[in-house]
Structure 1
Amino acid sequence: MRFWTLANFFTFLRFVLAPVVGAFLVTRSEWGVWAAGWTAGFAMITDFLDGYYARREGNVSDLGKIFDPLADAVFFLVVIVALGLAGYIPLWLAVPFLARELVQHVYLRPTAARFGVVLAAVFWGKLKLVSQAVVLIGVCISEAISFRFPQFLPAGRWINFLMFAVAAVFSVGSIAPYFRAVAKARRA
């Protein structure tokens, strides 16, 4: 199986786009949040495309099963830290997302691999990613509007916080199937 398939290209593109979106956000400008929102939207499309092309071309691989969720995690964590550094959200909001990704990628995936199991994406993980994408693009839109209409800034920031709280619940909750898979692998 070839390494540089179209599916893997789209996966690795998210690693490249993460610091680009982060750089747009830390400009703390209207054009920066619009550019971040559009670029993040494109990055989310690449997440769909990598899976689509992997299945269509018969290139679903263990490498893709590992790097696709890792690309998603790196992308979102870089962007959430950039949102915090830019002052659009409290930086501590990154903690539940960071904790979840560390547990999944540093503990659960390697543990499963020791038992010969590759943890592929599950429905709850995809729901987590969709909620994170909606939140990220929503925050960019909210902040862009606040540049034009500063009177909406307090309400926008409150909405941003609530959106992140919901995404945090999905994020932390979505790890349960991975714990179950590792527990099942240990019993086998």
Structure 2
Amino acid sequence: MYRIRGFYNRQLCALTSTVGQYKAEGAAARGRDIDPDTVVYPICATYDAAHREEFFSRKFDYIVDCIDLVSCKLDLIQQARLRGIPILSALGTGNKLEPELLRVTDISKTSGCPLARVMRKELRARGIHHLKVVFSPELPHETQQLEAPSPGRRSVPASVAWVPSVAGLMMGGTVVRDIIEDGGLVP
């Protein structure tokens, strides 16, 4: 559960007028501002196994996974599979500078991404061999760590505005195309 603090460089709903709001509420409000007929059910909580039923209390047409924590990401993927919900996962965009290298592919075809390597191993251990992902083969750049992570947590790689943004646009486009190809909504 994250509140908007000042990630103006990364998130469209992060404005001076939304500081202190939950990201989910800010994103939902943005969607409704664009199209008042949009139906959005924001959940102001962090996805994890203990709270999964709250997240799956509604029916989803598609899940877009942008979770940073591997254990939570894995659980969400497993639950989507069990429930027959298509899922697209974002892999590591941190410490990368070249958005033109991003691509949508199966996780089995990824390379150069440390998160992809961990995810492939963990997914195979769970019997999952295929997963649609957005990833970049660009090797992460070394950065200087300015702050120590919280106890028990690893540091999250830094990101620049343009790489995660392009990944998000690619994910949105992929979801729309997949829904159309599956005979869903026609624009």
TM exceeds 0.5?
Answer: no
Judging by fraction of residues, say which structure has more strand.
2
In the superposition, the TM-score normalised over structure 2's length comes to 0.25
Judging by fraction of residues, say which structure has more helix.
1
- The higher-RCO structure (CA 8 Å, 6+ apart) is 1
In the superposition, the TM-score normalised over structure 1's length comes to 0.25
